[in-house]
Amino acid sequence: MISRQKWEALEKRLTDLGVQQEDMTIKSILGSGPGGQHVNKKATTVYLKHHPTEIEIKCGQERSQTLNMYRALQTLCDKLEQLQKGEQSKLAKEAAKIRKQKQRRSRRQKHKLVEQKRELTEKKELRKPPKED
């Protein structure tokens, strides 16, 4: 399951963000999807609502209720950090990084890349032993 240190780190993160237990409603509901009889019969999915920000999270990724609770609280922390820090939050930085990676290269960058590849090919050709006729 989840170690005590991870729970303590999550609790510290929640207190740093100013989240209190009274501000949240946490419910266990029946899950769906893969997991078999355990998921279909047990209330493993966790529904979490943070009242001051009206953030709602439903987490049913795992078969374990405690693991789903942990993941839901982590998601809440991520969303609150994104609201508070904006561009400086971890999620915003990751999204910006992905946007930058997916961005098309400019003509100049493409030309430079092709030129580097051509130079590398020429170097490799020089390494080959001479052909005998």
pLDDT in tens, 61-78: 888 889 999 999 999 998
Provide the β-strand partners of residue 58: 47
What confidence score (pLDDT) does residue 133 get? 67
19 has a pLDDT exceeding 80 = yes
In sequence order, which ranges of 1-133 are alpha helices (DSSP H)? 4-17, 37-41, 65-85, 90-102, 107-127
The domain limits of the chain are: 4-86, 95-127
Calculate the average pLDDT of the chain: 88
4-86: CATH, from 3.40.30.10, 3.40.50.2300, 3.30.160.20, 3.30.565.10: 3.30.160.20
Distance, CA of 43 to CA of 58 (rounded, Å): 12
> Among residues 60, 69, 70, 71, which one has the least CA distance to residue 38?
60
CB 59 within 8 A of CB 71: yes
pLDDT in tens, 76-108: 998 998 888 777 777 788 888 999 888 888 899
58 has a pLDDT exceeding 70 = yes
